Amino acid sequence: MRRIVIERPGGYEALRLVESPDPTPKPGEVRLRVEACGVNYADGIVRMGLYESAKRLHGYPITPGFEVAGVVDAVGEDVEGWRVGDRAIGVTLFGGYASAICLPVERVFATPPGLSSEQAAAIPTVFLTAWFLAHRQVHPRPGERWLVHSAAGGVGGALLQLARLAGVEATGVVGATHKVEAARALGAAQVIDKSATDWVAAAKGIAPGGFHAVFDANGVSTLRDSFDLLAPMGKLVVYGFASMLPKDGRLNWPKLTWDWWRTPRFNPLAMTTSNRSVLAANLSFLSAEAPLLRRGMLWLLERFADGRLAAPPIEVFALERAADAQRRIESGQSTGKLVLRP
């Protein structure tokens, strides 16, 4: 098998392609011959050495990657319901940048008909995150208004689709003009291009009474304004801190420290009187809730199978170009999802 290994944190050069023996499935596991691996912004944070769950739950050396799709090519003992040749999606919690992987059956799902392996590998991380934020933290109701940052990206685009299904009016915020149509195509009722306008003023014009939920993965650059845009009983949902991180692959420690100090600390007394809340999530620390996340994944795949949800736009890179893929996603210029093809 071929896989990407990070021996120690660093820049793009830390991503090394190595050859290893194929893994052998243990009892209760299946082996996937991987045809596509999803790329997520978090993979670059793993490479930089800042992803907390990579440090706590795994350590270095590490193979990044949270999701794969391909074909079952070996089955361990005590496995029912899977046969060699079945098309499958795997949720990995690291290890995904590889041409083969063994996974417990509870982390393996049948690929919905009509989806390519590239499309299937683009689904788990972003849609499961969006599902958790929307349906286990916010609990959408028809007629609500949401504001979704990074609306042309993976999680942002998934949130727009889930908002549409729930009867929610979602406003997307994007960072570049070429992303406006992508966000609109995913279901945004309005799109704010913050490279061309004052996004806060535009958001206030769209929802003078505030938004019922604001989803923010930017961090310090937008968190305070996002909170101030909430309606009474509104919820700010935080799932990332992209504005604190570099776009050239190299950490700037003085900037990182300064941004950490500037990150808003929300006062619970003020939240009590304003009836506004702050929520946060990182699914890689939710292993204790694996049955819940499996139910969420099955819920999503049912809607992909019948067409209520659609795979995001995809850019494909060869596995050996993992550094180029991470450079692309960290540039802030990509839309939809990036996928590696082993």
Task: Please give the pLDDT value at position 258.
Answer: 93
pLDDT tens, residue by residue, 271-284: 999 999 999 999 99
Q: How many residues does the chain have?
A: 342
Average pLDDT of span 205-224? 97
Residue with tokens 């009983």: 233
pLDDT band at 122 (very low <50, low <70, confident <90, very high): very high
**What domains can you pick out in the chain, each with its CATH number?**
2-123+312-341 (3.90.180.10), 125-284 (3.40.50.720)
Which two structure tokens, joined as six digits, stand for 255?
């900037």
Q: Which residues make Cβ contacts (< 8 Å) with residue 254, sequence separation at least 6?
A: none
**Which one, of 110, 102, 88, 121, lies nearest residue 325 by Cα?**
121
Amino acid, res. 48: M
Distance in angstroms (rounded) separating the CA atoms of residues 147 and 226 = 9
Average pLDDT of span 114-119? 97
What's the predicted TM-score (pTM) here?
0.96
Whether residue 61 has a cis bond before it, omega within 30° of 0: yes
Amino acid, res. 46: V
The chain-wide mean pLDDT, for the chain, equals 96
Amino acid, res. 107: R
pLDDT tens, residue by residue, 82-96: 999 999 999 999 999
